[in-house]
Structure formats: structure tokens, C-alpha cells
A = this chain, B = another copy of it.
Amino acid sequence: MGAVQTARQRARAELTREIVDAARRNLVAEGPSGLSLRAVARELGMVSSAIYRYFPSRDDLLTTLIIDAYDAVGEAAERADAGCAREDIIGRWAATSRAVRGWAIAHPHEYALVYGSPVPGYRAPEDTIGPASRVTNVLVGLVCDAAALGALAARATPSLPVAMVADARRLADLVLPGVGPETLTRAIVAWTQLFGIVSYELFGHLVGSVEDPEVLFESSIVLMADFIGLRESRRRKVSR
């Protein structure tokens, strides 16, 4: 067999993708708990039981959607980050943040699927962990590089709980060598802020108070970069 696929295998791969696409569209209309195998089958002109040749159950289809969503937002973040010069820390932070928000706005239902309320009765399997951490990894890499490049200003941090310092030190040793516990704590807080503001906008809580969510978002990028202590890298050639 090797690399060559039989007609059957090609058909299977294609239909699997079509099922997932239809399911994604179904999600938009009804939300995660309204995802319906029968509706998906109907849209593809199949009989509902045919779906079972491709997915053993509704939950498995949902899992695929969740993994895809994590992968999509993760990839968006990775590409945005990769499009910046390595030493342009502030630019990378801004680009990554915008990528997350941009993807969320373009795919609100998929965003809600992974960052919104948990789906009742659904238990996420282990397979989602890897894709789920892609965005985090971008932020981790960014802070890591900032530390290596001397692009991390020390902040006058008010004293934190000792347990936090200890935990942050443990985490830093694990994934962010060279980053102090105060900075790591700030990074985690900034990270929750990023998803907080995106959720706030997407779930309609800014309506009626803030004029333009994008302007607020840009402001929050600037403020949180400063909050973490990100600054222009010393090594960067400034040419103006």
C-alpha cells in the first residue's frame, strides 16, 4: 500500500473531513450541547446511522471539534508570533494577542467551545491536552526569549503569597529557566487577562459601556506588556 491510498481510503478521509466541517457549522447554529449527529448526516445527505462508520459516538465528534479548535487558535498564535523578529518582544506579544482575539472573533462558537462554559456531561479526554497548550507555549516562549534577551524589566512587585512564589519558582524551573517568580506570576495573570477580555467582548459584556472593543483591546495589549515588564530588547536595532 505505502503512500498510495486506495479510492476507499481517499473517500473515507474526505468524508471524515466533511462530517467535521458540517458538525462545525451545526455548532454555530445550536451550540455544543445542541450538536446533532442527525443534523450533520442530513446536511451531508446521508442516513444518520452512517456517521457511526466514522465516529463511534457524538462525544467523539465533539472531541474532534475541540481538538481542531485548540489547534486552530494555537496555530494562529504560533504564526503570528513567528511572523515577528525574535528580538521584537513587544511586537510578538501584540501579534500573539491579536491573533487570539482575531481568531476568536472569526470563530466565536469554536472559541466558546473551548474557552466558554464546559459542555454539560462531556468529559474531555487526554488527547485535548496537547493542542490546548499551544497558545500557552507561545506565551511561554515569548517570556523565555524576553528573559534571554534582557527584554524583561524588573517590576516593583508588591509582596506575593509565599505559596505563589514557591509554585511560580517550580513552574519557572520547569519551563521558563531564568525567569523570576514575580515575573512568571505576572505573566500568568496577563494570560488570564487576555482570555478574560476576549471572552468579555465575545460574550457581550462590553456592550453598552465601551465604545470600541478593539481600541480597548489594543490598550490592554500595551498595558499588560508593561505589566509583565516586557520592553524593547537591548539588542534590537532601532532605526528611525
Contacts and interface: CB of A to CB of B under 8 A. Distances in A.
Contacts of A218: 161, 164
Interface in A89-142: 112-113, 115-121, 124, 129, 132, 136
Interface string A151-193: 0000001111101100100110000000000000110110011
Interface stretch (A3-11, A59-67, A77-85, A195-203): A195-203
Given A193-B196, A218-B161, A167 B212 contact: yes
Copies of chain A in the complex: 2
A117 B30 CA distance: 12
A188 B216 contact: yes
Nearest to A113: B117
A47 interface: no
A200 B210 contact: no
Interface of A: 29-34, 112-113, 115-121, 124, 129, 132, 136, 157-161, 163-164, 167, 170-171, 185-186, 188-189, 192-197, 199-200, 203-205, 208-212, 215-216, 218-220, 222-227
27 contacts: A29-B120, A30-B120, A30-B121, A31-B120, A32-B117, A115-B205, A116-B117, A118-B203, A129-B208, A136-B209, A157-B223, A163-B212, A164-B215, A167-B211, A167-B216, A170-B211, A171-B210, A185-B216, A186-B223, A189-B197, A189-B220, A189-B224, A192-B196, A195-B196, A195-B200, A196-B197, A196-B199
Given A164-B219, A188-B210, 9 more contacts: A31-B117, A132-B205, A157-B226, A160-B219, A161-B215, A188-B216, A192-B200, A195-B205, A223-B227
